[in-house]
Amino acid sequence: MANTFFLVALLVVFHFSMPTFSKKLTTIVTDQSALLTLKHHVIQNPENVLSTNWSISIPVCNWISVSCGSKHQRVTALDLTGLGLVGTLPPHLGNLSFLSLLYLTNNSFHGRLPVQLSKLRRLKYLNLGNNSFSGEIPLWLGALTELRRLYLYGNNFNSSIPLSLGYLPKLERLSLYENQISGSIPSSIFNISSLQLIDLRNNMLSGYIPSVPRDLLSLELINFNFNNLTGHIPKDMFDHLPNLKGLDLSGNLLSGNIPNSLCEIPIEIGKLTLLEQFDCGINNFTGTIPPQIGDLKNLEILDLGLNNIGGPIPPAIFNISTLSMIDLTFNQLSGHLPSNMGLSLPNLEELYLGGNHLVGLLGNLSGSLMEFSADGCNIRGNIPSEIGNLSSLINIMLSNNKLTGSIPTTIGGLKKLQSASLSENKLEGPIPSELCHLNNLAFLYLTSNKLSGSIPSCLGNLISLRELLLGTNMFSSSIHSTLTQLKDLLVLNLSSNSLSGPLPIDIGKWKVATSMDLSSNQFSSDIPTGIAELKDLTYFSLSNNKITGFIPESFGELLSLEHLDLSRNNLSGEIPKSLVKLLYLSYFNVSFNRLQGEIPSGGLFGNYSMESFQGNGALCGAPQLHLPSCEPKSPENSKARTRLVIYVVLPIASTLLVATLIFIILQNTKRKNKLQTQEEMLPLGSWRRVSYHELHQATDGFSESKLLDEDMVAHLSDFGIAKLLCDDDSIIQTMTMATIGYMAPESGTEGIISTKVITDSHLELKCTCLWRKSRGSEREVNSVASGDKEDGGEKPENFQRVEQVNHDFEDKEKKDFRKVKPIGENFTKPSEVDRVEVAASEWDRKGDPFHLKRKVLEADKAKQEVEIRSESSTEEFGRPSPELSKTRWDAETNEAKKTLNLGKKIGMQIIGNEQEALDEMRMLVLQEK
């Protein structure tokens, strides 16, 4: 009490001892001078109000933001709210002796308040909120006895609340919130009978809540939230505050080493019958909720969240029809939820029950409900289909319960729904397509359930989605391309599902995404290059998939990245050096891939442990990572390799390319100019000897009937084509030997089975037989073979007879030729050795050499005729050339002679008597001469 009198005396002395301007004669000129001084103390005037309007050429009372009294024509109000002014307050403002209102709200004035402002004894309204004033709250404010409203909120005032403020007898509103005020709450504040509002929230106040010594009939709101107050709520507080409407004590430390009975919510709270807001959340209150709280018939807001209150929820609470918000979150409440809690609360908009130990099912809820939270309340059963009737619902939070069944399709009726959290339950089945009708949905949390099926493609139509969390479910299929239409998506979690297929190629459309978790799936594509478009990405995980390819260099452009996990995939190549630019990358993991090469150095790579790189057999790096050191690369060698490639390898490669092209062109030209194609030749195998006895027996004494019948039809299907007899088999070429019958000319010296052999052989054998049946004599045949001819190059008479025979059977030959289907498209010219195979076979009989000669000449002549007819034919087979030139005739007859001689030699070699072959060759030469 003594201190109080001392302070009052000090204020009186301070007030009258200071020199004042009031003793001097003041006029409107004095006010003008004070305001011009203020103008000069303003260093920034964004709207130029003061610089363009505050001028001596304009009367002061006409200045913007200035008001004058009608009686004295003096400045009575100065309101500079929200002009963005920067500067300090000059002491000359104390000369505005008639000033009753000073509003400087929402500017950037700084510094201390000048003490000269204490002379404004007519001042009733002082609002300095939302500036940058600092220092102590002035003691001299207690001298402004006419003050009704004092707003100093949103500044940097420190120290404690001066006791002098308790002696402002007319003060109605005291607002000091959001400063750095410390110390305790002065008890003198509760001596101001006119007080209506006390707002001291968001400071650093400590100590106990002072008791209320007298009735404060005008006090309606007390807000002490978010300080460091301790102790308990005084019981007498509720006895002297009959008209209190709002009490907010949340965010303090109202506990301590005091009896539990003093920490309980007093039952006297029921006396606050006009109370509209009761907020004691975020404290350490214990005990139970008193049932008397049901007597607060005007209560609109009840906040007891984040305490240690236990017991059941009093049913009386749900009888307060005026309630619009109930917050009982994170207490120790137990018991059942009332099944009819929504019927008696027609105005309830917000209901928060999460973090308690409640049981039971979801019952009827108020149709006006906008926010409903019951996370972690042990709620069981299905989500009732009636939930679709909550047409005003904006947010629903039912995560971490024991809900079963499926998501009801009636959820599509919640047209205003913006957030739905059903995570950590036991929900099953697919996501209902009706969910895609919620066009205002921004947050969808369905993680840790048993949901299955594919992710609905229609979710891509919910363009309001900001966060989509579907992780730890049983979703399959792939990411539908429509999801990339969510251009404003911030968070995407599809982890721990069975999703497969490629990553979206247009992943870059999620440009504003900050977090993306696609881990523990079966994605199997390369990382899309569009990842570089996600400039705001801070968290990215693709771990435990089947991702292939390289780590894109473009990851180095994601400068905001803090978490990158690419572990347990099939990535190959090197770790990009560009990742050293990621200065915020605190977590990096590429373990268990197929990466190789040197681990980058620099940036944050020195902070990563070996766990980030293990499971990559070809990586090398610093010793602390327990990896093999990398072989140093010589810059000179690298430059030498580059020069080698440029000056040596490239010219050689170019030359080879040009040469190859020239060779190909020449080869093509050569092939076009070739008249016939030569087949590949391999060395002959060892021929099997065939005895005369075997040939004689097989042909029944060389009977013509065994070879051709009267209609010239062959009885040997292959016409003597050699049976493939050789020790070394080949699928390309064979070593041939004549079998029983006639050896085809094409199968002679080279041992090659031609695809054109059958038809030629057919004709040759027929021609041989025809010649033998013809009326020609041995002399005529010998004449043809020896090259006899008429003068003038005309064909001899004997050859004309041969031509006539050919004409006789030409038609027959055409018909028979069709019976033997040629394997090739054209006939192949016979070789020299082929022409004497008959001679070789006949020679084995040891018969008359002249008789054998006749047969050889017959075969040779027939062969020549076939060649001539084949070369001369155009459209039809077998038509002879009209004329045969003398040159051609000489060439053909000479060829026959050579063939005869060669055949004799080969024939003797076949039977193994070389000397006899030589003697016989000499005899033939003499006879031919």
Per-residue pLDDT reduced to its tens digit, 805-824: 444 544 444 444 444 334 33
Q: How far apart are CA 386 and CA 361, in angstroms?
A: 13
- Give yes or no for residue 35 having a pLDDT over 60: yes
Degrees, nearest 5: CA angle 851-771-868 = 115
Q: What's the confidence (pLDDT) of residue 482?
A: 94
Q: What is the mean pLDDT of residues 502-507?
A: 94
Local confidence band at 669 (pLDDT 50, 70, 90 cut-offs): confident
The tens digit of pLDDT for each residue in 832-848 reads: 444 444 444 544 444 44
- Sequence-ordered alpha helix ranges (H) in 530-686: 635-644, 650-673
C-alpha distances in Å from residue 75, one per residue of 147, 150, 317, 356, 745: 18, 20, 54, 60, 137
Q: What is the mean pLDDT of residues 849-858?
A: 52
Between strands 474-476 and 500-501, the pairing is unpaired
Q: Are 828 and 760 in contact (CB under 8 A)?
A: yes
Region of poorest pLDDT, from 48-52, 293-297, 670-674: 670-674
- Give yes or no for residue 417 having a pLDDT over 50: yes
Which helix (DSSP H) or strand (DSSP E) does residue 870 occupy?
A: helix 849-872
- Give yes or no for residue 573 having a pLDDT over 80: yes
Report which of residues 674 and 117 the model is more confident about: 117
Q: Are 239 and 214 in contact (CB under 8 A)?
A: no
Between strands 197-199 and 221-223, the pairing is parallel
Q: What's the confidence (pLDDT) of residue 480?
A: 92
The tens digit of pLDDT for each residue in 49-60 reads: 898 999 999 999
Report which of residues 422 and 659 the model is more confident about: 422
Q: How far apart are CA 330 and CA 281, in angstroms?
A: 10
**The token pair that represents 14 in the structure block:** 């301070």
- Give yes or no for residue 717 having a pLDDT over 50: no
Q: Are 123 and 145 in contact (CB under 8 A)?
A: no
- Give yes or no for residue 773 having a pLDDT over 90: no
Region of poorest pLDDT, from 147-156, 425-434, 667-676: 667-676
DSSP assignment of 42-88, as one string?
EEE-TT-HHHHH--TTS-GGGSTTEEE-TTT--EEEEE-TTS--EE-
Q: What's the confidence (pLDDT) of residue 916?
A: 59
Reported residue count of the chain is 929
Which stretch, 479-483, 620-624, 819-823, has highest mean pLDDT? Answer: 479-483
Q: How far apart are CA 696 and CA 690, in angstroms?
A: 11
Q: Which residue has the tokens 């008397």?
A: 292
Average pLDDT, the chain: 77
Local confidence band at 898 (pLDDT 50, 70, 90 cut-offs): low
Q: What is the mean pLDDT of residues 190-219?
A: 93
Q: What is the mean pLDDT of residues 655-676?
A: 73
Q: Are 556 and 575 in contact (CB under 8 A)?
A: no
Q: What's the confidence (pLDDT) of residue 116?
A: 96
Give every strand in the sheet of 450-454, ordered side by side.
428-429, 450-454, 474-476
- Give yes or no for residue 246 having a pLDDT over 50: yes
**The token pair that represents 623 in the structure block:** 């010793």
- The closest alpha carbon to 844, from 766, 929, 780, 913, belongs to 913
Which stretch, 85-89, 257-261, 815-819, has highest mean pLDDT? Answer: 85-89
Between strands 66-68 and 75-79, the pairing is antiparallel
Which stretch, 220-224, 802-806, 820-824, has highest mean pLDDT? Answer: 220-224
**The token pair that represents 461 in the structure block:** 């139509």
Q: What's the confidence (pLDDT) of residue 133?
A: 97
Q: What's the confidence (pLDDT) of residue 234?
A: 83
The tens digit of pLDDT for each residue in 902-911 reads: 555 555 544 4
Local confidence band at 662 (pLDDT 50, 70, 90 cut-offs): confident
% of the chain at pLDDT higher than 70 = 66
Q: How far apart are CA 133 and CA 1, in angstroms?
A: 32
C-alpha distances in Å from residue 760, one per residue of 821, 870, 881: 11, 10, 18
**The token pair that represents 869 in the structure block:** 């007819």
Local confidence band at 672 (pLDDT 50, 70, 90 cut-offs): low
Long-range contacts, 169-172 (Cβ 8 Å, 24+): 169/145, 169/194, 170/145, 170/146, 170/194, 171/147, 171/195, 172/148, 172/196, 172/197, 172/218
How many other C-beta atoms lie within 10 A of the C-beta of residue 559?
13
Number of alpha carbons in the 13 Å side-chain half-sphere of residue 876: 9
Q: What's the confidence (pLDDT) of residue 17?
A: 44
Which stretch, 19-28, 130-139, 345-354, has highest mean pLDDT? Answer: 130-139
Q: What's the confidence (pLDDT) of residue 556?
A: 92
- Give yes or no for residue 855 having a pLDDT over 60: no
Q: What is the mean pLDDT of residues 588-594?
A: 96
Local confidence band at 231 (pLDDT 50, 70, 90 cut-offs): confident
Q: How far apart are CA 129 and CA 123, in angstroms?
A: 16
Q: What's the confidence (pLDDT) of residue 801?
A: 46
Region of 104 on the Ramachandran plot (φ > 0 left; ψ -120 to 50 alpha; else beta): alpha
The tens digit of pLDDT for each residue in 743-772 reads: 444 444 444 444 344 434 443 443 343 334
Report which of residues 698 and 704 the model is more confident about: 698
DSSP helix/strand/coil, 666: helix
- Sign of the CA dihedral with 23 first, then 28, 31, and 37 last: negative
C-alpha distances in Å from residue 403, one per residue of 68, 228, 921: 69, 40, 113
**The token pair that represents 745 in the structure block:** 């000319």
Q: What's the confidence (pLDDT) of residue 668?
A: 75
Q: What's the confidence (pLDDT) of residue 859?
A: 55
Q: 259 CB contacts (<8 Å, ≥6 apart)?
A: none
DSSP helix/strand/coil, 3: helix
DSSP code for 665: H
Q: What's the confidence (pLDDT) of residue 897?
A: 58
Q: Are 422 and 397 in contact (CB under 8 A)?
A: no
Report which of residues 38 and 621 the model is more confident about: 38
Local confidence band at 327 (pLDDT 50, 70, 90 cut-offs): very high
- Give yes or no for residue 203 having a pLDDT over 90: yes
- The closest alpha carbon to 105, from 156, 152, 147, belongs to 152
The tens digit of pLDDT for each residue in 623-644 reads: 778 888 887 755 555 555 666 6
Q: What's the confidence (pLDDT) of residue 385?
A: 87
- Give yes or no for residue 657 having a pLDDT over 70: yes
Q: How far apart are CA 844 and CA 852, in angstroms?
A: 10
Q: What is the mean pLDDT of residues 227-252?
A: 88
Q: What's the confidence (pLDDT) of residue 757?
A: 41
**The token pair that represents 229 in the structure block:** 């107050």
Local confidence band at 515 (pLDDT 50, 70, 90 cut-offs): very high
Q: What's the confidence (pLDDT) of residue 770?
A: 38
Long-range contacts, 733-738 (Cβ 8 Å, 24+): 733/679, 733/680, 733/681, 733/682, 734/685, 735/682, 735/684, 735/685, 735/686, 735/687, 737/687, 737/688, 737/690, 738/690, 738/837, 738/840, 738/841
Q: How far apart are CA 887 and CA 480, in angstroms?
A: 84
Q: What is the mean pLDDT of residues 290-300?
A: 87
- Give yes or no for residue 90 having a pLDDT over 90: yes
Q: Are 185 and 207 in contact (CB under 8 A)?
A: yes
- Give yes or no for residue 126 having a pLDDT over 80: yes
Q: What is the mean pLDDT of residues 276-284?
A: 90
Q: Which residue has the tokens 């100019």?
A: 673
